[in-house]
Amino acid sequence: MNNEKCCVIKDLLPLYIDELCSDETAAIVRKHLDECESCNKAYTAMKSEVPGNDNDGILPVKIDPGTSDEHDKQLIKKVSRDVKNKTNRSNMVSVIAVVFALFIIFGFTVPVIPIRSDSIEVNVINPTLFVNAKELSYYDLSEKDIVLYEGDKDLTKCTFKYAYIRNMPDIALAIDVEMLGNDNKEDLILDNVRLVTLSSDKPIKSYKTDTDISGTEKKLVIKNVRTTLFSGSNNSVSSVTFLNTDGFDVIDI
């Protein structure tokens, strides 16, 4: 009978050491330990294995459990505080990560830094266009084609012809046939077409154009040429090519 009691007491020792027993159970365990040398040795050995119960001088924090219900409430409160603290730390880390990611995305995608005009080169050509006689609808065009049309029109109702620029085979212009008039020659020059290329040692992300006709000359005004926040200078040339049909005489940057 005594062996059975010892088995029960030894099973209760971890709870007793961690002070998780009720007062009544703890009193029974203490009384048995005073009377039983075998269980007392097991208790001493088990207690020495618990952090804070060795000879380093650090004692575990003792909590008076009171009744079993009160102790359960204390444990629930402690667990709730730990979970709340971990959740707050996790939320803080998430917020910092999101802010950092937005900062990186903003810096590399939003054109917020102007490029100085003396850092921009402009090249203008009046191209010779080789016009393909085949007529195409808007839906036949590639997304990469440069569409050139006259006036404010519904593009889906326009008819186009392909025009290729001499020595620039990678650029294809889809020209509204009304701009060609009645001239169906395969090889023609459109004097009102200017191909403008902006070049800079920084990535060109955005720009605006306007035409100034206030003076004696008709000027093409290029302004607000911008790059990204973290562009720096990578010693490579960035260029943007666009078409202008305003018949300008000079360029103002």
Supply the pLDDT for residue 61.
40
Question: Would you call 174 exposed, middle or buried from its count of C-beta atoms within 10 A (0-12, 13-18, 19+)?
Answer: buried
Identify whether the C-beta of residue 145 lies closer than 8 Å to the C-beta of residue 116.
no
**What distances in angstroms separate CA 7 from CA 4, 39, 64, 130, 213, one per listed residue?**
5, 9, 26, 101, 104
Identify whether the C-beta of residue 251 lies closer than 8 Å to the C-beta of residue 217.
no
Parallel, antiparallel, or unpaired for β 250-252 and 219-228?
A: parallel
Q: What is the DSSP letter of 186?
A: S
* Paired strand residues for 122: 198
Supply the pLDDT for residue 68.
54
**What distances in angstroms separate CA 228 from CA 38, 107, 114, 115, 236, one per listed residue?**
77, 6, 9, 10, 15
Sort residue 170 into left (φ over 0), alpha (ψ -120 to 50) or beta.
alpha
For the chain (length 253 residues), average pLDDT per consecutive 10? 78 85 86 89 81 45 50 62 74 85 74 86 83 85 79 84 77 81 61 82 87 84 86 72 78 85
Amino acid found at 167: N
Structure tokens belonging to residue 185: 């020659």
Supply the pLDDT for residue 210.
87
Dihedral (Cα; 42, 44, 50, 52), 10-degree rounding: 180
What's the N-to-C CA distance of the chain in angstroms?
103
* Paired strand residues for 223: 208
Structure tokens belonging to residue 40: 């007392």
Identify whether the C-beta of residue 129 lies closer than 8 Å to the C-beta of residue 193.
yes
Supply the pLDDT for residue 75.
60
